Amino acid sequence: MAIPRAARTQRRTRIQEEKEEIILEAALDVFSVSGFRGSTIDQIAEVAGMSKPNLLYYFRTKEAMHRALIDRVLFTWLEPLRAFDSNGDPESEIRSYIRRKLEMARDFPRESRLFANEMLQGAPHVEDELRGPLKSLVDEKAQVIRAWAQAGKIAKCDPYHLIFSIWSTTQHYADFDVQVRAVLGDEHSGEGRFEDAARYLEQLFVDGLRIRQG
Amino acid sequence: MAIPRAARTQRRTRIQEEKEEIILEAALDVFSVSGFRGSTIDQIAEVAGMSKPNLLYYFRTKEAMHRALIDRVLFTWLEPLRAFDSNGDPESEIRSYIRRKLEMARDFPRESRLFANEMLQGAPHVEDELRGPLKSLVDEKAQVIRAWAQAGKIAKCDPYHLIFSIWSTTQHYADFDVQVRAVLGDEHSGEGRFEDAARYLEQLFVDGLRIRQG
DNA sequence: GGATAATTTGACCGATTGGTAAACATTACA
DNA sequence: TGTAATGTTTACCAATCGGTCAAATTATCC
């Protein structure tokens, strides 16, 4: 008789590892587009190429699948901020943080959209993680930025809103990809748009628009 | 016998105006959180305080409701960009554009989320509007910005990515509101956060972070 | 006030939803 | 190679989905 997944205590078999990977991959495809409520187990099963009861053998509910996915994404999603080095040079740290976040938007757009979907719905499944680990990490890095500002290395500015603005500008290229492509037109919506975005954003954050009064 | 709404040609009655307004208001509540697929007519009917068949008397399908809502939101959503004055002073135009967009994120977060939801799903219902009217408007304003750059009034920069960055940074406070509140903590997530954001963003766009090499 | 048009609702439909039961197939391991 | 554990599928369930219909109710206008 099959043992329900949650009750298993022994280490996972090869098949379990493989299949769970396939399922989460398919779930990412579906959840990232339609959100939790808008996605169905049948859709995920079809993308994964297996039967619905087979999915439910590995994840007992739709919510468990979403949970596993969100947990994994949430961890890797904060990798660039964790890599933000307090001892580094302010300019190069901010530049490379922007670059890394932009690369993630380019290489992992589904992960970005999954997260965005969850935020739009009011983060019903991850609010604890936001108030806990996320807030702690941001608090820590905000202190670093504040110290830089007080040392005169960068302009005085609210470090939290600085982080928000880096998040939003970079993730925009994943979450609003359709809009970006539509506005840029077919000519400029190739992969080169990430180069252009990187160049623009680095300039924006380092120099601003250097507006001169007419 | 009742005449289906779409076939009516005479002017709308008072009741029609009122009820359609109530329905769209309720639909905005629901669609903005759960997206099109994740929302149900029953949910909207409950929020609107009327029976499901009554909703369907005014809007023949769920899609028609969403359509009417998106059309209206799309128009008002571009109001600030339309108000962007080519003959104005670059600094004050950009400043007030940021301010206006931020006010919209504060005062109309549901509209922002409705739009974000549609983008995340690949804009299946509005891609034409993006490639048509939206692109035209952005093209026009991008030309203005480009002219300012060439006249040396602002730094040379990609005007499209400039517009994207204003969109993303401002709308972030509506779309990712839960995250912003979670990170800022209960103390700083009152309405004052929009003042802080406005101050930070205006500084960012005008001066950048004015990073000085150590 | 009565006729007519507009509005509202309860009952219902077939399709789809998340999830289950149990039979069947495959794998791991002695 | 046998057998017990693991993995897979078909058939199915109750609940919910978008939407229809006809009857009942209300507003409008003469």
Minimal CA separation from A190 to chain B, in Å:
14
Minimal CA separation from B60 to chain A, in Å:
21
Q: Do A211 and B160 touch (CB under 8 A)?
A: no
Average pLDDT over residues B154-174: 96
Which region among A25-39, A171-185, B1-15, B188-202 has the lowest average model confidence (pLDDT)?
B1-15
Q: A156 and A56 in one domain?
A: no
* Chain B CB within 8 Å of residue A11 CB: no
Q: B114 and B52 in one domain?
A: no
Q: Which two tokens stand for residue B126?
A: 């509005």
Compute and round to an integer the Cα radius of gyration of chain B: 20
Q: Which two tokens stand for residue B35?
A: 């997206």
Q: B46 and B31 in one domain?
A: yes
Q: Are B76 and B179 in contact (CB under 8 A)?
A: no
Sequence-distant (≥ 6) Cβ neighbours of residue B126 within 8 angstroms: B70, B74, B118
Percentage, residues of chain A above pLDDT 70? 91
DSSP B210: -
Nearest alpha carbon to residue A205 among B84, B184, B169, B180: B169
Residue B213 counted as domain residue? no
Give the orientation angle of helix A14-38 with respect to helix A41-48, to 10 degrees: 140
Q: Do B130 and A214 touch (CB under 8 A)?
A: no
CA of A53 to C1' of C23 (A): 14
CA distance A116 to A110: 10
Confidence of residue A13 (pLDDT cuts 50, 70, 90): confident
Q: A89 and A165 in one domain?
A: yes
List all residues of chain B from 23 to 62 with a beta carbon under 8 Å from chain A: 32-39
| Angle (nearest 5°) at CA B130 between A26 and A120 | 50
Q: B149 and B122 in one domain?
A: yes
List all residues of chain B from 115 to 174 with a beta carbon under 8 Å from chain A: 116-117, 119-123, 127, 130-131, 134-135, 138, 152-155, 157-158, 160-165, 167-169, 171-173
CA of A64 to C1' of D7 (A): 19
Question: pLDDT by residue (tens digit) across A194-207?
Answer: 999 999 999 999 98
Average per-residue pLDDT in chain B?
91
Residue A214 has a pLDDT of 39
Question: pLDDT by residue (tens digit) across A106-164?
Answer: 999 999 999 999 999 999 999 999 999 999 999 999 999 999 999 989 999 999 999 99
Residue B209 has a pLDDT of 60
Alpha-helix runs per DSSP H in chain B:
14-38, 41-48, 52-58, 62-77, 79-83, 90-107, 109-120, 127-129, 135-150, 159-175, 177-188, 192-207
Q: Are B213 and A153 in contact (CB under 8 A)?
A: no
Instruction: Name the burial class of residue B159, with classes exposed (0-12), middle (13-18) and buried (19+) by CB atoms within 10 angstroms of its CB.
Output: buried
In angstroms, how far is the first alpha carbon of chain B from the final one? 80
Q: Which two tokens stand for residue A163?
A: 């982080």
Nearest alpha carbon to residue B134 among B52, B77, B202: B77
Residue B210 has a pLDDT of 61
Q: Is the pLDDT of residue B198 over 90?
A: yes
Minimum-distance residue to D7 (CA–C1')? A2
Q: Is the pLDDT of residue A4 over 50?
A: no
Residue A214 counted as domain residue? no
Q: Is the pLDDT of residue B204 over 90?
A: yes
CA of A12 to C1' of D4 (A): 17
Q: A130 and A41 in one domain?
A: no
Q: Are B134 and B163 in contact (CB under 8 A)?
A: no
CA distance A211 to A47: 50
Q: A168 and A99 in one domain?
A: yes
Q: Is the pLDDT of residue A39 over 90?
A: yes
Q: Is the pLDDT of residue A10 over 70?
A: no
Q: B98 and B68 in one domain?
A: no
Q: Are A47 and A39 in contact (CB under 8 A)?
A: no
Minimal CA separation from A20 to chain B, in Å:
25
Residue B132 has a pLDDT of 93
Residue at which a domain ends, from B22, B38, B73: B73
Alpha-helix runs per DSSP H in B86-134:
90-107, 109-120, 127-129
Residue A163 sits in a domain whose CATH number is: 1.10.357.10
Average pLDDT over residues B185-198: 93
Sequence-distant (≥ 6) Cβ neighbours of residue A83 within 8 angstroms: A97, A100
Residue B14 has a pLDDT of 77
Residue A36 counted as domain residue? yes
Residue B3 has a pLDDT of 52
Residue at which a domain ends, from B24, B49, B73: B73
Residue B1 counted as domain residue? no
Minimum-distance residue to D19 (CA–C1')? B61
Residue A82 counted as domain residue? yes
Q: Are B169 and B77 in contact (CB under 8 A)?
A: no
Residue A8 counted as domain residue? no
Q: Do A134 and B179 touch (CB under 8 A)?
A: yes
Chain A partners of B130 at a C-beta cutoff of 8 Å? Answer: 178-179, 182-183
Q: B68 and B54 in one domain?
A: yes
Q: Do B131 and A197 touch (CB under 8 A)?
A: no
Residue B50 counted as domain residue? yes
Q: A36 and A59 in one domain?
A: yes
Range of the domain at A28: 13-68
Give the orientation angle of helix A14-38 with respect to helix B109-120, to 10 degrees: 140
Structural domain total, chain B? 2
Percentage, residues of chain B above pLDDT 70? 91
Residue A2 counted as domain residue? no
CA distance A39 to B109: 24
Question: pLDDT by residue (tens digit) across B47-62?
Answer: 999 999 999 999 999 9
Buried b (16+ CB within 10 A) or exposed e, A55-89: bbbbbeebeebbebbbeebbeebeebbeebeeeee
Give the orientation angle of helix A62-77 with respect to helix A109-120, to 10 degrees: 110
* Chain A CB within 8 Å of residue B83 CB: no
Q: Are B6 and B61 in contact (CB under 8 A)?
A: no
Average pLDDT over residues B66-85: 94
Residue B16 sits in a domain whose CATH number is: 1.10.10.60
B19 strand C contact, CB < 7 Å: yes
Residue at which a domain ends, from A68, A94, A111: A68
The alpha carbon torsion through A164, B77, A123, B68 (nearest 10 deg) reads -170
Question: pLDDT by residue (tens digit) across B100-124?
Answer: 999 999 999 999 999 999 999 999 9
CA distance A50 to A39: 16
Q: B185 and B163 in one domain?
A: yes
Q: A158 and A105 in one domain?
A: yes
Confidence of residue A189 (pLDDT cuts 50, 70, 90): confident
Average pLDDT over residues B8-31: 84
